[in-house]
Amino acid sequence: MLRMIAGLLLVITSLPLQAACPPLLDLRVRTLASEESVHLCERYAGKVLLVVNTASKCAFTDQYAGLEKLYDRYRERGLVVLGFPSNDFLGQEPGTEKQIQEFCRLTYGVEFPMFEKTRVKAPDAHPFYESLARETGKRPRWNFHKYLISRDGRAVGSFGSTVAPTDKELIQSIEAEIAKPAPTR
């Protein structure tokens, strides 16, 4: 019996320590125009995330091109752009998810992950956006609001709609976060 317990302890203590899922990323979201849902922690833990509420009929819609360039430029270093289409601001995302997906791919060549059409405004905001607002103290006031999430799953920045993906401060913030090592899992 003691041998069995000692053997079990040896197995347990030799297992790698698993970092807990950061609360901000501990939820499932559905991918755009599909039935598949992903657990943000399982898919993106250890990555730097730029979360953006998007819209296809907005004065800022051309930011899709800049977001795709950011994703392409920094993807290998650990950045993932996550797009969440939202119709919360003057109905500027009226299409179906399939229409949104086709528009993004055909017009802007978007390859970064896009998720279900999402409410971002209080009081009906999606839990993910509620958490982002709580952590940063800022809520989206319009389409293309950007939240930066560190490799350890904390919201570390909030950038308004007028901050373009090419903005020097945004790029410096992204570069600072991707330079940090990923937490051990």
pLDDT over 80 (residue 9): no
Q: What is the pLDDT of residue 3?
A: 55
**pTM score, whole prediction:** 0.89
Query: What CATH class has 19-179?
Result: alpha beta
pLDDT over 60 (residue 89): yes
- Specify the long-range contacts of residues 116-119, CB closer than 8 Å, at least 24 apart: 116/29, 116/30, 116/31, 116/32, 116/84, 116/85, 117/32, 117/84, 117/85, 117/86, 117/87, 117/93, 118/29, 118/53, 118/84, 118/85, 118/86, 119/86, 119/88
pLDDT over 90 (residue 19): no
Catalytic positions are: 58
Q: What is the pLDDT of residue 46?
A: 95
User: 3 burial class (0-12, 13-18, 19+ CB within 10 angstroms)?
Assistant: exposed
Q: Tell me the three state secondary structure of residue 139.
A: coil
The model's pLDDT over 25-42, given as tens digits with 9 standing for 90+, comes to: 999 999 999 999 999 999
CA distances from 8 to 17, 40, 106, 145, 164 (A): 16, 32, 55, 50, 54
pLDDT over 70 (residue 152): yes
